[in-house]
Amino acid sequence: MNKTIYLILLSVVTIICILIGSIYHLSGWFLPDSKLGGTVETYEGELEAFDSIKIDADIADVKLETGDTYSLSYECSSEFVPKVTVEHNTLTLTQPNTPHNWKNWKKINKAKCKITLTLPSDAVINEGNIYSSVGNITIKDMQAKDMTLEASVGEINLSSCTFKHSDFTANVGNLETEDCDLGNGKVTADVGNISLSHCSFTNLDVTNSTGNISLDTALDLTNYDISMSTDFGSLTINGDAKKKSFAQAAKDSSTTNKLTIENSLGNIDVDY
């Protein structure tokens, strides 16, 4: 009974945190200007070549994809039109920071911004750093040596990507990868599910506070040092239910590959 009460209280506190966090971030939409959300600007054009990316988006869905050339397109409310520069082989994209103000919230709630960045299919990013305060981050068919992603309120979705080093954080929202090589990877979520489908990696550290974690890989994990645990939830490996924690030493003692999965409130499901 005590455990049940604790779980109920923890769930209530989690919901309150979600609401507070969402209101805090979404309040950036509410600016004291009667014109906000009224005009939409569109743009499409080519860019100079670059091999590093720095994106700091306040309110935007950010998408990276491959194509024939380096190019940028967006459809944004005029107040959120991004500033873009390419200097020293680095693309920098920023948006005006919006103050947290409740005035004219109905007008601002209509505002939108969708940004698409296209790179040639054979391009390799040396370093990528992408942050979105409110909005989703989507990346498809991308190669990068070092990639850092963070979405405060929004989802992160990756497919057919290859990284040597990766660090992904979703504060409020789901985080999903499909057919990706995360290299030396770190994946973190505060509130939301983590789904790593057909995933490969050298070393991987996955942490979630509230939400489920699922990992599907073709790797032979018997050659990995493994540590998994969930405080409140189930732990399943290849369909077999385990206790709240599981540990394994690699068969080959000389290996340095590690897999660590920790969950506070949610299930862990691993298949290999």
Mean pLDDT of the region 56-82:
95
Residues with Cβ within 8 Å of 253's Cβ and at least 6 positions away in sequence, in order, are none
> How much of the chain exceeds pLDDT 90, in percent?
74
Helices (H), the chain: 2-26, 105-108
Q: What is the pLDDT of residues 109-149, one digit of tens each?
A: 666 899 999 999 999 999 999 999 989 999 999 999 999 99
- Amino acid at position 246, single letter: F
Of 74, 76, 81, the residue nearest 40 (C-alpha): 76
Is 271 within 8 Å of 236 (Cβ atoms)? no
Q: If pLDDT is split at 50, 70 and 90, which confidence band does 7 have? A: low
- Between 31 and 254, residue with greater pLDDT: 254
Query: Model-level pTM greater than 0.95?
Result: no
pLDDT at 253: 72
Q: Which residues pair with 191 in a beta bridge?
A: 172, 210
pLDDT at 96: 84
Average pLDDT, the chain: 87
Q: How many CB atoms lie within 10 A of CB 235?
A: 21
Does the structure show a pLDDT above 90 at 259? yes
Every domain of the chain and the residues it spans: 1-153, 155-272
What span, in angstroms and rounded, lies between the C-alpha atoms of 40 and 37?
Answer: 8
What span, in angstroms and rounded, lies between the C-alpha atoms of 189 and 46?
Answer: 35
Does the structure show a pLDDT above 50 at 26? no
Is 125 within 8 Å of 164 (Cβ atoms)? no
